[in-house]
């Protein structure tokens, strides 16, 4: 018998694998500091809500138990390897020492230890399942939970507020609807009903809660609470087709006062940006958020630094932009009808009545477009409208809206000037 030697090829391959893993972590867009501190936008370690915290606690219990097992088994193994190793040539050919197989003390002891460790994991697991299943009583002391229905589409999210009814222009009422950005009050429990219109999606906000599947013909739900106002990153966590990886969304948690202001504004019919309205908005913005300090006529920065202050950037999006052009907006609104956008999108109070795509009544006030993929700047929206299939391959706006799915023929053309008008119109919807 020969002792195993280190094979230089194996060592090389191990080092290469290690380097590749390290490189992948870098390629994934994580900053190096984030890789090691496990922070970042979608961290499940640095969490901001009780549901994610309970999931994180359970994870840590499992880590501790597994670390304990690893250390004990590893130590026993190392001890046996060193103590009973062959020390001479005759040891190499010696009979094995008496074996411990069948020793009742060892066997019953190992079974008991395994059961005890499983119980240590099972208790917080059951507590966690119970706690995360539905909003606990103690969270409902200050009033009922905020109710939201989230619906998955290939590839975006619709959010409905069934208890926040809005008056429809044609008469009657319907729940408030928004797309890809779920706005909630901080410190309040939110119960999310999970639905899908097509395939299975999964709803996941790593820092707040997750993940629960959106299943066809099955009503799932989850609850979460954001401890403090903030801007949270969510995404679909179940493979659902070619653009699954870019099916994202945001959760914006506001103070109670800001949330009320937001709701008030959302419930209004779509803004009509004629010359008088633009002049009025310049001196008195329609929505003034608590921390928003805007000088009259102040210009908005074209590309807010989201990483530095995403919630601040989102707040900036809430007010009408400087330099709105009523004529261009009116042209955009007309094009929105002529180019058949209205058949898939709703702009409550204007012409749009479609339900296939996201509700756009307040799309200009969202910080992102295309299900959280692009920052909602004029330039980005121009690029998105010009070539949606580039940013979200297979999406139904392009495949079916712009082009006939069967013949691949374009249904209409859009030149840059027309897109500029459409962008002006959509960005006027605050």
Which residues make up the interface to ligand CUA (CB under 6 A)? 152, 155, 201, 236, 238-240, 244, 247
User: In whole angstroms, what is the distance from residue 427 CA to residue 378 CA?
Assistant: 7
**Contact in structure between 228 and 207 (CB atoms under 8 Å):** no
Of 158 and 427, CB closest to ligand CUA: 158
Whether 305 contacts 316, CB under 8 Å = no
Q: Which residue is it, tokens 């009979």? A: 95
Q: Which two tokens stand for residue 300?
A: 């908005």
**Which of residues 195 and 430 has its CB atom nearest to ligand CUA in the complex?**
195
| Residue among 238 and 375 whose Cβ is closer to ligand CUA | 238
Q: CB of 258: closest distance to ligand CUA in angstroms?
A: 29
Cα(60)–Cα(115) distance, integer angstroms: 19
How many Å apart are CA 390 and CA 406, to the nearest integer? 19
Distance linking the first and last C-alpha atoms of the chain = 78
Closer CB to ligand CUA, residue 131 or residue 203? 203
CB nearer ligand CUA, residue 70 or residue 239 = 239
Q: How far is the CB of 372 from ligand CUA (least distance, A)?
A: 12
With respect to ligand CUA, which residue has the nearer C-beta, 204 or 314?
A: 204
Cα angle 260, 262, 266 (rounded to 5 degrees) comes to 115
C-alpha 55/C-alpha 44 separation (Å) is 9
Matching residue, tokens 């109670």: 256
152 DSSP β-pair partners = 157, 196
**Beta carbon of residue 422, minimum distance to ligand CUA (angstroms, whole number):** 27
Q: Output the smallest distance, CB 175 to ligand CUA, in A.
A: 22
Minimum distance between the CB of residue 236 and ligand CUA, rounded to whole angstroms? 3
Helix (H) or strand (E) holding 260: helix 256-267
| Residue corresponding to tokens 């009033």 | 143
The secondary structure element, H or E, covering residue 215 is none
Closer Cβ to ligand CUA, 282 or 398, answer by number? 398
Are the beta carbons of 181 and 367 closer than 8 angstroms? yes
Half-sphere exposure at residue 145, Cβ-oriented, CA atoms within 13 angstroms: 20
Nearer to ligand CUA, 202 or 318 (CB): 202
């Amino acid at each position: 018998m020969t002792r195993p030697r280190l094979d230089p090829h194996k060592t090389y391959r191990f080092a290469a694998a290690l380097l590749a893993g390290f490189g992948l972590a870098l390629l994934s867009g994580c900053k190096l500091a984030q890789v090691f501190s496990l922070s970042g936008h979608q961290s499940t370690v640095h969490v901001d809500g009780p549901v994610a915290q309970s999931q994180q606690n359970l994870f840590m219990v499992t880590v501790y138990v597994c670390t304990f097992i690893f250390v004990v088994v590893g130590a026993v193994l190392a001890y046996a390897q060193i103590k009973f190793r062959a020390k001479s040539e005759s040891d190499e050919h010696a009979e094995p020492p008496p074996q411990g197989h069948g020793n009742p003390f060892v066997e019953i002891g190992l079974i008991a230890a395994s059961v005890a460790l499983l119980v240590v994991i099972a208790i917080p697991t059951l507590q966690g399942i119970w706690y995360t299943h539905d909003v606990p009583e103690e969270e409902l002391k200050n009033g009922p939970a905020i109710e939201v229905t989230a619906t998955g589409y290939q590839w975006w999210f619709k959010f409905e507020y069934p208890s926040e009814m809005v008056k429809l222009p044609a008469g009657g009422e319907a729940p408030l609807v928004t797309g890809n950005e779920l706005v909630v009050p901080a410190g309040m429990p939110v119960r999310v009903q999970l639905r899908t219109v097509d395939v299975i999606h999964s709803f996941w906000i790593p820092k707040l809660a997750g993940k629960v599947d959106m299943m066809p013909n099955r009503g799932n739900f989850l609850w979460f609470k954001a401890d403090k106002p903030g801007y949270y990153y969510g995404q679909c966590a179940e493979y659902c087709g070619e653009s699954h990886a870019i099916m994202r969304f945001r959760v914006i948690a506001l103070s109670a006062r800001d949330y009320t202001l937001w709701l008030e504004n959302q419930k209004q019919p779509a803004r009509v940006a004629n010359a008088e309205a633009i002049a009025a908005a310049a001196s008195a913005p329609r929505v003034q958020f608590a921390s928003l300090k805007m000088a009259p006529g102040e210009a908005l920065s074209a590309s807010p630094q989201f990483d530095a202050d995403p919630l601040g950037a989102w707040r900036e999006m809430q007010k009408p932009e400087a330099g709105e052009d009523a004529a261009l907006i009116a042209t955009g609104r007309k094009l929105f009808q002529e180019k058949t956008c209205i058949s898939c999108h709703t702009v409550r109070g204007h012409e749009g009545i479609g339900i296939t795509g996201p509700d756009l009544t307040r799309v200009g006030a969202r910080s992102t477009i295309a299900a959280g993929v692009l920052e909602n700047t004029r330039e980005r929206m121009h690029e998105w409208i010009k070539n949606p299939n580039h940013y979200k391959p297979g999406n139904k706006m392009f495949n079916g809206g712009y082009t006939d799915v069967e013949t691949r023929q374009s249904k209409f053309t859009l030149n840059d000037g027309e897109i500029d008008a459409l962008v002006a119109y959509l960005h006027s919807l605050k």
